[in-house]
Chain A
Amino acid sequence: MEQIFFYIFSILAIISAVMVVSVRNAVHSAFYLIVCFLQVAAIFILLRAPFLAAVQVFVYVGAVMVLFLFAVMVLDIGKEQFKEHLHTQAIPAIVTVIALFATMGYLVSQGRITVPLGKFTEEALSKNTEVIGKSLFTQYIFPFEVVSLLLLIALVGAIVLVLKEKKGKQA
């Protein structure tokens, strides 16, 4: 049963991901990217990670993609421009994908990637959010703080960029 769902979600995710790079219109690709993200969220639920799924929908689908769409609409990227853009990236992209598949295939055939199914405890399932929160603030406090610092820097950077633009206009 679960496998059927997994295949539905993953096939949809792959189809929509291919559509993201193959459609001509920037707004359409944004739309397909939303579909793709939603499928990934569904797969997270199948993997018993409801918190990750909710965050995936909340942050990526809910906030990041709205900003994407906003930028695409404001910039009004022409259709032809978009086509050319895709064209120049086709060869490097294919090379990267082949390299990725080769690495993954090697690792899987060597048995380096194992599926940690069955390792989760009952507590981690029913109190998923609590467990994640506790480990974030105890075991992984240092990486967590580093990431939040990075985000703060990005935030300040964005504000500085906007400020400079305004001064330039006035002068």
Chain B
Amino acid sequence: MMPDISTILEVLLIFVKVGVVTMILFGLPLPLTWLERKIAGHIQVRLGPWRVGPHGLLQPFADMIKLLFKEDIIPDKADKFLFKIAPLLSMVPAFAVFVAVPFGDKLMIPFINKEVTLYISDMNVGVLYILAISGLGIYGLILGGWASNSKYALLGGLRSSAQMISYEIAISFAAIGVVMIANSLSLVDIVNDQGNGILSWNIFYLPVGPVWFMIFFIASLAEINRIPFDLTEDEGTLASGFHTEYSGMRFAFFMLAEYIAMVTVSILSVIFFFGGWHSPLNIPLPIPPIFWLVAKVAAFIYFFMWIRFTLPRYRYDQLMTIGWKVLIPISLVNILITGLLRI
């Protein structure tokens, strides 16, 4: 049985979309590392990278060449199989999340007159899928930390597993709140629910919207292991946590996964609370919707970097207290209020 031509085209289109998204994601960490170091430099009254290329613009490429040619050291007493596979375990879920992330609604392609959707798949379990898959990245950290057979790496892995479990609950509650407001688990529906200008964005769904956003934001900071919650790679006490023993490309894979996780969280914040690709004012302007999405996501990424170089790190017990005794009770109360508002 031969499938007809339109089915083949559909499948091809999906392959093209997946390819494009993957390429963009592989490329993104290059400008992001440069930005992060520049922002760090300027916040700390330094210049940041300066020597390779104008304004250090070629620094990421220099880093890439260094990482590619660095010896890939596998410790003698490490568990070889898990040590080798762990970086992939943390990288693959980070990419897989983007299957369900919408970058826009439909788009007419001018020459072939065909409508193309700017997402790979609009699942009816989109939110669940993203939460589930992004949670899998943790295995790279845990198994990598364990397989290194080093106490620092093991402690880093253990910390990250406890941290992940605690904050995943808060993130899921925040997602439930958004789902309750939008009445749908599909991300496209969630965005289209916020289409009527800035006041219809979920962050302005008073009084619960801002609270959900704070919960989501704090918990996602902890999920992606960034300061002030980067206890898994606390260099003051743990050398550098779970990736202490990694070098070369395997280390680069962990870093890649971390940057992509940051992008994911930024996009999710924009989709959940800041109206996705809709413009803040409900006036027809000749600006494509994708511009708004990228601009908002970029603002969020900058915000994450800004926080990283401004706040100190929390103590481990404080981290657990915030997760279990502050965020979760607030979420429970907030769910009740949201439910009452939605009746």
A residues contacting B by CB (< 8 A) are 25, 27-28, 31, 34, 50-51, 53-55, 57-58, 61-63, 65-67, 69-70, 73-74, 126-130
Q: Are B136 and A31 in contact (CB under 8 A)?
A: no
Known contacts being A58-B135, A73-B154, A73-B157, is A63 close to B168, with CB within 8 Å? yes
Q: Which residues between 79 and 134 of chain B lie within 8 Å of chain A, taking CB atoms?
A: 79, 81-82, 123-125, 128-129, 131-133
Instruction: Give the residues in chain B near A31, CB-CB below 8 Å.
Output: 82, 139, 143
Q: Are B143 and A67 in contact (CB under 8 A)?
A: no
Q: Is B247 an interface residue (CB 8 A)?
A: no
Count how many pairs of residues, one from A and one from B, have CB atoms less than 8 Å apart in the complex: 76
B residues contacting A by CB (< 8 A) are 79, 81-82, 123-125, 128-129, 131-133, 135-136, 138-139, 142-143, 146, 154, 157-158, 161-162, 164-165, 168, 185
Contacts A/B (CB < 8 Å), 7 sampled: A28-B82, A50-B125, A53-B125, A54-B129, A61-B132, A61-B135, A63-B135
Q: Are B128 and A54 in contact (CB under 8 A)?
A: yes
Instruction: Give the residues in chain B near A127, CB-CB below 8 Å.
Output: 124
**Which chain A residue shows the least CB distance to B183?**
A130
Instruction: Give the residues in chain B near A54, CB-CB below 8 Å.
Output: 125, 128-129, 132
Instruction: Give the residues in chain B near A73, CB-CB below 8 Å.
Output: 142, 146, 154, 157-158
**Which chain A residue shows the least CB distance to B130?**
A54
Known contacts being A27-B146, A58-B128, is A70 close to B158, with CB within 8 Å? yes
**Which chain B residue shows the least CB distance to A63?**
B165
Instruction: Give the residues in chain A near B136, CB-CB below 8 Å.
Output: 57, 61-62
Q: Are B124 and A128 in contact (CB under 8 A)?
A: yes
A57 CA / B142 CA spacing, docked (Å):
17
